[in-house]
């Protein structure tokens, strides 16, 4: 008797799962449903944009930086960081290229090659010297 009840429950659960599964699957794939849901999301996002703008204006009236402005500053910092990374890479590539040049040209003459191996700092020093002279 108990087993029969358990089997019935199991059968009922399986039927429920199939019924619900089929129904929900159809719903989330339905073009009209997706379109209406998107409209609702669009309305929420438009509301958020309006609210954020109003908040920004209030902050500006109080002479305080808004979240939007702080994010802009953070994005500028990201841009600067990106630029520094790019320049560092270019500098490393330049140094690598300069270091490999004399080694390939005159490997045995180590004493003479040594000072030439660091042209970048020399060039930088000359530039600084020239700037100082200009001043």
Partner 1 sequence: MIGNMDTLVQHLDAITEHVMRNTAGELDKYPRGVTPREEVYTAGNVSLLRFESPLGVEGTPILIIPSLINRWYILDVTEETSFIRQFAQQRPTYLIDWGYPDEEVGHLPLSHYYHRSIKRAVRQICRQHGISQVDMLGYCIGGTLAYAFSCLEPDLVDHLVMLTAPIDFTDAGIFATYAEHFPIEEFSASMGKMPGWLLAFSFQFVQPMGVYQKAKMFHSKFESESFMKLYNAMERWIADPVSFPARAYYEMITDLYQKNLLAQGRLMTAEGRKVDPAARRAKTLILNAGKDHIAPLCTTALPASDKAPVSEVTIPSGHIGITTGRNSKDACRSAIDFLMN
Residues near partner 1 (CB under 8 A)? 17, 20-21, 24-25, 27-29, 31, 34-35, 37-39, 41-42, 45-46, 48-49, 52, 71, 74-75, 77-78, 81-82, 85, 89, 92, 96
Which of 95, 117 has the CB closer to partner 1? 95
Q: How far is CA 88 from CA 7, 38, 82, 85, 96, in A?
A: 70, 45, 10, 5, 12
Which of 29, 132 has the CB closer to partner 1? 29
Which of 51, 124 has the CB closer to partner 1? 51
Query: Please, what is the minimum distance in Å from the beta carbon of residue 127 to partner 1?
Result: 27
Query: Please, what is the minimum distance in Å from the beta carbon of residue 96 to partner 1?
Result: 8
Q: Of 94, 116, 121, which is closest to residue 105 (Cα–Cα)?
A: 116
> What's the start-to-end Cα distance of the chain, in Å?
104
The residues, any chain, with a CB within 8 Å of residue 102's CB and separated by 6 or more, are 113, 116, 117
């Amino acid at each position: 008797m108990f087993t029969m009840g358990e089997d019935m429950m199991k059968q009922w659960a399986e039927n429920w799962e199939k019924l619900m599964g089929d129904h929900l699957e159809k719903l989330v794939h339905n073009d009209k449903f997706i379109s209406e849901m998107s409209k609702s999301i669009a309305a929420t996002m438009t509301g958020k944009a309006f609210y954020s703008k109003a908040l920004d204006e209030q902050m500006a009236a109080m002479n305080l930086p808004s979240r939007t402005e702080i994010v802009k500053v953070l994005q500028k910092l990201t841009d600067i960081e990106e630029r520094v990374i790019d320049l560092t890479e270019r500098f490393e590539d330049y140094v690598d290229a300069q270091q490999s040049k004399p080694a390939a040209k005159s490997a045995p003459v180590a004493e003479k090659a040594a000072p030439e191996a660091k042209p970048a700092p020399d060039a930088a020093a000359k530039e600084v010297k020239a700037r100082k002279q200009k001043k």
